[in-house]
């Protein structure tokens, strides 16, 4: 898969502190996503979250699983996440600065993989989905929440301008139907989809066949 670039890492490093202080845009929807995700956990679950940002979601889920590997390309995001985990006395989350593309020798290791607000930020989301499929155990699930920019009206026209001026990261543009197609073409069975409102991120749960 196409790895992230140095410019991607630099962008997220630069905004990490500000990002960590930004409130969740829709707290009710976020809490519902947490609850829906936990339906697929057991106390022994081994979980991967890629694109974990400053760690809030991994930390929130930690009490419900055995272990979480949480990764991000930004060393500044990871540093903030580690401080938050220490403050919350969370000891079963390992935060690592790495790219999904760089995870080696992990095929079939995870019960659940989470990709929250990340697929649309990748240069090759289809390859990322293929990587996730391989990382999962048979019967494991991929939980994702994704902004489908192609359905967000004027945003898909504004984002290239924002990116050119350094105010936005790289964005992949696709529709919900295309995203679901990426999942099913890879071999996933779609078991749940939810969109809290029009133009909101699409929450999907896709299962790797047992």
Q: What's the longest Cα–Cα distance across the chain? A: 46
Question: Which CATH number covers residue 183?
Answer: 3.40.50.150
Tell whether 139 is covered by a domain.
Answer: yes
Cα end-to-end span (Å), the chain: 24
Tell whether 23 is covered by a domain.
Answer: yes
Q: Is 16 in contact with 78 (CB distance < 8 Å)?
A: no
Neighbours of 138 (CB within 10 A): 9
The predicted structure's pLDDT at residue 163: 61
Considering only CA atoms, which of 160, 168, 122 is closest in space to residue 144? Answer: 122
Pairing assessment for the beta strands 136-146 and 93-97 based on DSSP bridges: unpaired
Tell whether 91 is covered by a domain.
Answer: yes
The predicted structure's pLDDT at residue 153: 61
**Domain containing residue 61:** 6-207
Give the pLDDT of the chain (210 residues) as one tens digit per residue: 777 888 899 999 999 999 999 999 899 999 999 999 999 999 999 999 999 999 999 999 999 999 999 999 999 999 999 999 999 999 999 999 999 999 988 999 999 999 999 999 999 999 999 999 999 999 999 999 999 988 776 555 666 666 666 667 888 889 999 999 999 999 999 999 999 998 899 999 999 999
Say whether pTM exceeds 0.85: yes
The predicted structure's pLDDT at residue 6: 86
Give how many domains the chain has, as a whole number. Answer: 1
Tell whether 176 is covered by a domain.
Answer: yes
| 87: three-class secondary structure by DSSP | helix
Distance (Å) of CA 144 to CA 157, 197, 203: 24, 16, 6
Tell whether 128 is covered by a domain.
Answer: yes
Distance between CA atoms of residues 175 and 171, nearest Å: 13
The predicted structure's pLDDT at residue 152: 72
Tell whether 1 is covered by a domain.
Answer: no
Tell whether 127 is covered by a domain.
Answer: yes
- 9: Cβ–Cβ under 8 A, 6 or more apart, which residues? 73, 74, 75
The predicted structure's pLDDT at residue 157: 60
Tell whether 123 is covered by a domain.
Answer: yes
């Amino acid at each position: 898969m196409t790895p992230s670039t140095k410019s991607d890492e630099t962008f997220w490093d630069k905004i990490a502190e500000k990002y960590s202080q930004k409130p969740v845009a829709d707290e009710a929807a976020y809490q519902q996503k947490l609850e829906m995700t936990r339906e697929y956990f057991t106390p022994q679950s081994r979980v991967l979250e890629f694109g974990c940002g400053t760690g809030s979601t991994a930390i929130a889920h930690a009490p419900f699983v055995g272990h979480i590997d949480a990764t991000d390309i930004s060393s500044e995001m990871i540093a903030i996440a580690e401080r938050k985990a220490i403050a919350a006395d969370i000891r079963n989350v390992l935060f690592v600065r790495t790219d999904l593309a760089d995870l080696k020798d992990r095929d079939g290791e995870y019960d659940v993989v989470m990709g929250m607000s990340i697929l649309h930020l990748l240069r090759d989301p289809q390859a990322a989905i293929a990587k996730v499929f391989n990382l999962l155990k048979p019967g494991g699930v991929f939980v994702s929440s994704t902004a489908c920019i192609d359905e967000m009206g004027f945003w898909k026209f504004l984002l290239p301008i924002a990116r050119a001026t350094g105010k936005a990261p790289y964005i992949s543009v696709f529709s919900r139907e295309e995203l679901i197609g990426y999942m099913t073409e890879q071999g996933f069975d779609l078991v749940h989809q939810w969109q809290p409102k029009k133009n909101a991120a699409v929450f999907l749960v896709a299962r790797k066949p047992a």
